[in-house]
Amino acid sequence: MTHIKVNVDGTVYEDDVEPRLLLAHYLRDRLGLTGTPIGCDTSNCGACTVDLDGATVKSCSVLAVQADGSEVTTVQGLARNGELTALQRAFHELHALQCGYCTPGMIMAARDLLRENPRPGPDEVRHALEGNLCRCTGYQNIVRAVLAASGQDTARSGQETAQEVRA
């Protein structure tokens, strides 16, 4: 067992964990933070994306012991006093999800993009979400929501984006 101390969504936790415990399992099974889902076993889907010390990571590809002394933000730590962030509201209002399984990871990845690039173009949004798979929406409304959250016109994110990507 290895002793770790991690700040997750503003709360400090101290635990003894097996070194092989994945951060995703620590969040879900030990801390009960099931807002971060696990979608695959191959580091591909990005559903389990969280923020680790200011940068996104796939929490299935990080050991809990590697997060010792770090700050983790999950999708559950974004809203303040029940108030959704602009990005979360945009996902809600623009129907950027169907089954919702990929949504926590999509939101964490999009949040990471907007921190670095506050007004991304549609193609930049798509590249930033390369590590996050959605099997329902076809991505159109997700791209639209990210553009809306950055205060941009969402009308040009549909067909036009598809064409830009093909080009």
Partner 1 sequence: MIPAAFEYTRPESVDEAVRALAAAGDEAKVLAGGQSLLPLLRLRLAFPELVVDVGRIPALRGVREDGGTLVIGALTTHHDVLRDPLVRRHAGLLAAATQTVADPAVRHRGTLGGSLAHADPAGDLPAVVLALDGELVVAGPNGRRTVAAGDFFVDYLQSALAPDELLVEVRLPKTDGWGFHYEKFHRVAQAYAIVGVAALVRRDDGRIAEARVGLTNMGSTPLRAVAAERALAGADGPDAVARAAELAAEGTRPPQDVSASPEYRTHLARVLTRRAVLAATEAR
Residue 100 phi, psi (nearest 5): 90, -5
Residue type, 119: R
Quickly count: other Cβ atoms within 10 Å of residue 80's Cβ: 8
Nearer to partner 1, 11 or 165 (CB): 165
Q: How far is the CB of 129 from partner 1 (least distance, A)?
A: 8
**Cα gap 9→51, rounded to integer Å:** 10
Q: How far is the CB of 63 from partner 1 (least distance, A)?
A: 7
Nearer to partner 1, 19 or 93 (CB): 19
Q: How far is the CB of 50 from partner 1 (least distance, A)?
A: 9
Nearer to partner 1, 30 or 127 (CB): 127
Q: How far is the CB of 82 from partner 1 (least distance, A)?
A: 28
Nearer to partner 1, 70 or 88 (CB): 70
Binding residues (CB under 8 A) for partner 1: these are 2, 18-20, 22, 25, 41-44, 46, 49, 52, 55-58, 60-63, 65-66, 109, 112-113, 127-128, 130-132
Q: How far is the CB of 146 from partner 1 (least distance, A)?
A: 13
- Both structure tokens of 109: 């990845």
Cross-strand pairs, 63: 22
Nearer to partner 1, 66 or 89 (CB): 66
Which DSSP string do the residues of 48-89 spell out, in sequence order? TEEEETTEEEEGGGSBGGGGTT-EEE-GGGS-BTTBPPHHHH
Cross-strand pairs, 65: none
**Cα gap 25→19, rounded to integer Å:** 12
